[in-house]
Amino acid sequence: MEYSPCRLLLVCSVLALCHCSQGTRGDELTIDFYDDTCPGLYNIVQQHVFSAMRDERRMGASLLRLHFHDCFVNGCDGSILLDGDDSEKFAQPNQNSIRGYEVIDAIKADLESMCPGVVSCADVVALAASYGVLFSGGPYYDVLLGRRDGLVANQEGADNGLPSPFEPVSSIVQKFADVGLDTTDVVVLSGAHTIGRARCALFSDRLTSTTSSADPTLDATMAANLQSLCAGGDGNQTTVLDISSADAFDKGYYQNLLTERGLLSSDQGLFSGDEDVVASTTRALVQKYSDDGEQFFTDFSASMVKMGSIGALTWDEGEIRCNCKVAN
């Protein structure tokens, strides 16, 4: 049965349940936003993410990807969670790709029971992503909170605005710039591919060409293995993004690029591409993070906080959804 978290409340009127509270204390995101209004927030999110990752380690990467895809469309407003005709869930980059909705719904249901109408779905997504990173062995970083939820989804924005693994690096850099992120953020946040998996449909174009030869920037042994994996499939077969340490959040992603073992062309292009932006910036950053995992962690944390602030709704903008799937 589909439910609304609001129906769990026993102490508020029906009107209050459907409208929810304003739930804001200012117009900026802060670390301590819910300390007084929902102090149990962190424990609930931790427990759900830990449990989900215990059942499936990959869920950490899925929650991180969910946050990324939310922030690049309409800003970090939880719009990716909305159902409906214009749902971002059915945008091309998100179909058969974005996962973890059920984890967010379970967290929200518990929060509505404990502190109704207070915590936004957008903040749940951001915080769940941070624990997905941490429980994968990545860095802890303070998540700024206080976002409010958007009222509408934007399927066209998701189709056109999300970076694609088929695009040249320069195009990806421009899409990051469009939301206020720079070239360093491109390389740093691409490092999230140190965990998770990708479908054959996202890299099979690298395996053969009109001359039946593999992409020259893809390690020959890896190419042969991938050709065997994807042969005759429907494109939904998956493999790990980081061949050296699939489930560990570490610098292995960058070390793979040095030896032409990046799975996606957009990843390998950061080091092996022939564009000016690669020669001037991204190649050096890949080398830097492949040598210094601590610097990668530091810069990744900073870029996640920066990304998490894109287009954030605050104060009286948007709403606090009772059910992440639908606007109040």
Within 10 A of 153 (CB to CB), how many other CB atoms are there?
26
Instruction: Give the DSSP H or E segment for 197.
Output: strand 197-199
305-328 as b/e, with b when 16 or more CB fall inside 10 Å? bbbbbbbbbbeeebbbbbbbbebb
Least Cα distance to 63 among 31, 103, 123 occurs for: 103
Whether the CB-CB separation of 312 and 78 falls below 8 Å is answered with no
Least Cα distance to 12 among 105, 108, 104, 118 occurs for: 118
Q: Is 69 a catalytic residue?
A: yes
Within 10 A of 274 (CB to CB), how many other CB atoms are there?
10
Token pair belonging to 254: 């960058």
Question: How far is 200 from 221, CA to CA, in rounded Å?
Answer: 17
Question: How far is 97 from 191, CA to CA, in rounded Å?
Answer: 18
Q: Which of 48, 67, 69, 193 is catalytic?
A: 69
113-141 as b/e, with b when 16 or more CB fall inside 10 Å? ebbbbbbbbbbbbbbbbbbbbbbbebbeb
Least Cα distance to 263 among 320, 203, 315 occurs for: 203
Question: How far is 125 from 87, CA to CA, in rounded Å?
Answer: 17
Phi, psi for residue 298 in degrees, rounded to 5: -60, -50
Amino acid letter, residue 51: S
Tokens 């605050």, residue located: 314
Q: Which residues are catalytic?
A: 69
